[in-house]
Amino acid sequence: MKYPSPIAVCVGVVVGFATCCVLGQLTTRKNIYQDFARLHPFLEQETSYYPTASQLVAVAHGQCPPASHKTLVVLGGNSVFNGSGQKRDELWSRALQEDLGDHYHVVNFSAPGAGAVDNGGVIFECLAREYPTALFVTNTEPGYYPAANRSAYSYLFWDAYCKGLLSHDARRTARLEREKATSDDADFKLSRELNSVCYFNDLWTYVSYRYVSTFWTSWLRGRSFQPRHRLRDWYDKRPKVVADESEFQKMLPDHLEALRHRRPVAADRFAQNSNGAWVQTAESLQQDEEHIADLLPDPLQRRSLIVFTPYNPWFLAHLTEAERTRAEISYANGTHLLEKAGFHVLSTYDSGFSPSDFGDTVHLSPAGGRLLAKLVADSIRSMDTASNIPAGR
Amino acid sequence: MIFTTYWFFVFVGIVFPIYWLLPWRQARLAVLLVACVVFHAHFAGAAGVVPIVVLAIATYVAGRSGRPGWCLAAILACVGALGVYKYAGFLVQSLVGLFDPHLAAQCVLWIKHVLPAAPPLAISFFTFEFVHYLYDVRKGRMRIENPADFALFAIFFPSLVAGPIKRCGDFLPSLHRGVASVGAEDVAAGLGRVAIGFGKKVVISDNLAQIINYYGPHFTEQPLGTRWLLFAAIAFRILLDFSGYSDIAIGLARMFGITLSENFRWPYLAKNLPEFWQRWHISLSTWIRDYIYIPLGGSRHGVTRKIINGFIVFALCGLWHGAAWNFILWGVFHGAGLAICGNYRQLLGRFGANAGMFFDRCPPLSWVITTVYVWLGWLLFFYPMPQAWKMATSLFSR
């Protein structure tokens, strides 16, 4: 066999590689996700699928172009905001869109297990300059404020960070430098740096969505290699959420135990004073304050609404008096600390949710989703959307 | 897996064009040497590099001296280092534990305290290559004079992590040919081989691993057909993982103009166990043949001695794969298979001769028996004995 000259081989390899890089970059130019409603399990990392920051930014661009002059509402948060258990048509964020009307456009980037500013928070920050009136709405529990680079979805933060999509924040830059010394994920960060130049993840994600996926996953089994666009929203085929006491009774042992270990309730963040009353320890308050300061760069807090995850009152009633007291203190302290940092807060503890609004301890039934949508819509309308958005990096 | 790290891609992306585009032989040699040092230092760290450097120096000096006594001492040092770093905890646990489990537990704790958490990177491969070199020097077959040649033989990065185990008599001429005349055909062939290796490893083997991890814990609860499919998945996963890794190593070396020996030749097509070992991890099986089996006497001292030698060799082969009883058991399982396969014709008299003739005339049956035997071995290799037994018996029951 006659081989080409070394230079021709070199040029061929370089041109082929560069073509892939350009193709990868082109996939970020427009929204590739048809009729995007949320990051359901077939479109996120639970099934080894990692949409990139550029591609999620393109979703917002595609659904709500900056020229439309609508107020973009970016949703973040965990499975509660992701509408776990709600079918696509029952999704609470659809109810929120209907409630807010045509002057707003809601896009839901929440994901199961995400912290307050994972996914949605990162994409909101990427979009903040282009959409000066955009708002960010997310949910979390009091006491749980992980920075976007320290969470389960840190890949998205690093993707946005390395691509220069995030705003400049001196405090964050200094913190990342400090953390660099103790982190052991150098190869992961190198992959993000390389991707910011070569866009190989963007290309793979696009190919997996449009043509063929290359990972077997237990969620999909026989359908693992199908292009993801053929797979409908995972929750559409799940059984309907039945919210009744007999179901709760079956869940009680496990869910009550889990509830007792949730941050607002767990005793390790509290102490009893000389009168025997529970108080949150100064140390945990200080830690919460520091973590809150790392959530979003100033002044994006003023455009952000943090909703404290509502708990099913049926399960709350099974807590001890001391546990309920700790939860109330957590919600009150969390609200105070977040408001002090400039965030808007919607505390849903004891705010009108009934057991029939839930499918389990925290996840909402379609009815609960509609109530959440109404509460959030009211809060959004009352938010002050002052400008002062930082310039991009 | 080192070859699938981003650091490695960047590393090769920088080193390879420099090496290839440099027109001077000595400069290429220098680039390759520096690259090997950087690669080893990056992945092994100081704790992994220092013992290997010490052993390499000892091996080089002993080899250069050509004195059999020095070579023997260096061989013992290499084998001793492998024993201490890789097997000390296991041996103490197994031997001392027979008499005093409490004392054994304390000794293991102390060993864990004294030794690094993981043995130096690729110490098994280093040991085998150094022992081969020293043994051949002792026999007067070769001697490396140039320290750069020896260093490149020792830490040639493509084969450093998972072989193939090199022989310096083959490697050094190929190295010098490569640095003198690497061509486009080498690069094209190498790139193709690397692509095949990544395909085997990343696209097929890693997906099989996901499937096995998911269904494996419930193996015996699956329908019979699914159990056999999983059984095949386990066998193909190890083949494609390991041979994929070898393909990447051989392809990378070829991109640098250097030919490494083949490590796999369609092993699951073997029609008997000796043939399987001529096709599976060839660089290891030939090493074991040349440096353990033949020095032990091989097949030269009668059937009994041949069988005993086979068991010793394959128990050691199993132990080489990891410090645990299941690996030894896997080795003994193959030793037993080879003993039966190699001797049944003589030992079973007329019946054995007829059976042998029948198998010779019916290759598909020989192939089925060999394949099932080898694949059953993988159950011992991957799972604790009781679980492996349960899985194996479930394959033959409804």
Q: What is the pLDDT of residues A137-154, one digit of tens each?
A: 999 999 999 999 888 899
Residue A355 covered by a domain: yes
For A10, the closest chain B residue by CA position comes to B17
The predicted model gives B352-361 an average pLDDT of 90
Burial-class residue B208 by CB neighbours within 10 Å (0-12, 13-18, 19+).
buried
ipTM passes above 0.90: no
Nearest CA in chain A to B208: A216
Region of poorest pLDDT, from B38-42, B115-119, B216-220, B348-352: B115-119
Q: Decide: helix, strand or coil at residue B7.
A: helix
Contact (CB, 8 A) for B96 and B103: yes
Reported as type and span, the H/E element at residue A74 is strand A71-75
Q: Which two tokens stand for residue B182?
A: 């690497």
**Residue-range domain boundaries for chain B:** 2-181, 185-255, 267-394
For B8, name the nearest residue in chain A, comparing CA atoms only: A187
- Tell me the pLDDT tens digit for each residue of B81-107: 999 999 988 888 888 888 888 898 888
Contact call for B207 and A3, based on CB within 8 A: no
Chain B residues with CB-CB distance to A5 below 8 A:
184
Neighbours of B376 (CB within 10 A): 19
For residue A150, the model assigns a pLDDT of: 85
More confident residue, A10 or B52: B52
Amino acid B136: pLDDT: 94
- Token look-up 């997996």 returns A208
Q: Do B20 and A6 touch (CB under 8 A)?
A: yes
Nearest CA in chain B to A17: B13
pLDDT at res. A384 = 53
pLDDT for the residue numbered A391: 38
Residues in chain A with CB shorter than 8 Å from the CB of B185 are 1, 3
Give the residue from A187, A196, A212, A219 with the most B CB atoms within 10 Å of its CB, the best one to mutate.
A187
Report the candidate in A303, A266, A271 with the shortest Cα–Cα distance to residue A124: A303
User: How many Cβ contacts (< 8 angstroms) between chains A and B?
Assistant: 43
Q: Pick the residue with more confidence: B200 or B322?
A: B200
Between CA B368 and CA A235 the distance in angstroms is 45
Instruction: Check residue A392 and give its pLDDT.
Output: 36
More confident residue, A392 or B120: B120
Low-confidence ranges of chain A (pLDDT < 50): 386-393
Residues of A within 8 A of B21 (CB-CB) are 6, 10
Q: Name every chain A residue with its beta carbon within 8 A of the beta carbon of B184.
A: 3-6, 8-9
**pLDDT at residue A3 in the model:** 66
Give pLDDT, residue A387. Answer: 44
Q: Count of domains in chain A?
A: 1
Distances (CA, A) of B309 to A329, B128, B315: 74, 19, 10
Q: Which stretches of chain B sit within 8 Å of chain A by CB? A: 5-7, 9-10, 17, 20-21, 183-185, 187-188, 191, 203, 207, 210-211, 214
Chain A residues near residue B210 by CB distance under 8 angstroms? 215-218
Domain ranges, residue A366: 13-385
pTM: 0.88
Active site residue B321: yes
CA distance A39 to chain B (A): 23
Please check whether residue A341 is in contact with residue A290, taking contact to mean a CB–CB distance below 8 angstroms: no
Dihedral of CA A261/A146/A159/B201: which sign? negative
Cβ of A389: how many Cβ atoms within 10 Å? 21
Q: Name the β-bridge partners of A306.
A: A138, A345
Q: Find, in chain B, the residue whose alpha carbon is nearest to that of A213.
A: B203
Mutation site, B1, B3, B4, B6, interface A, largest A CB count within 10 A? B6
CB–CB contact B184 A215 (8 Å)? no
pLDDT at A157: 95
Residue range B360-364: mean pLDDT, rounded: 92
Which residues of chain B have a CB within 8 Å of the CB of A3? 183-185, 188
Q: Report whether pLDDT(B145) > 80.
A: yes
Average pLDDT over residues B286-309: 90
**Euclidean distance between CA atoms B224 and B239, whole angstroms:** 23
For the cut 50, the answer to whether the pLDDT of residue B20 exceeds it is yes
Tallying the residues shown for chain B, one arrives at 398
3-state secondary structure (DSSP) of residue A140: strand
The predicted model gives B163-184 an average pLDDT of 92
Distance CA A58, CA B364 (A): 57
Lookup: tokens for B275: 């043939």
CA distance B205 to chain A (A): 11
For residue A218 the two structure tokens come to 């237990």
Interface test with B, best of A10, A49, A155 (most B CBs within 10 A): A10
Question: What is the arrangement of strands in the sheet containing A344-347, beginning at the earlier edge strand?
Answer: A104-108, A71-75, A135-140, A304-308, A344-347
Q: Per the domain annotation, does A390 fall within a domain?
A: no
Which residue is associated with the tokens 């969505």? A209
pLDDT confidence tier of residue B25, bands split at 50, 70 and 90: very high
The model's pLDDT over B229-261, given as tens digits with 9 standing for 90+, comes to 999 999 999 999 999 999 999 999 999 999 999
Q: Look up residue B21 and give its DSSP letter.
A: H
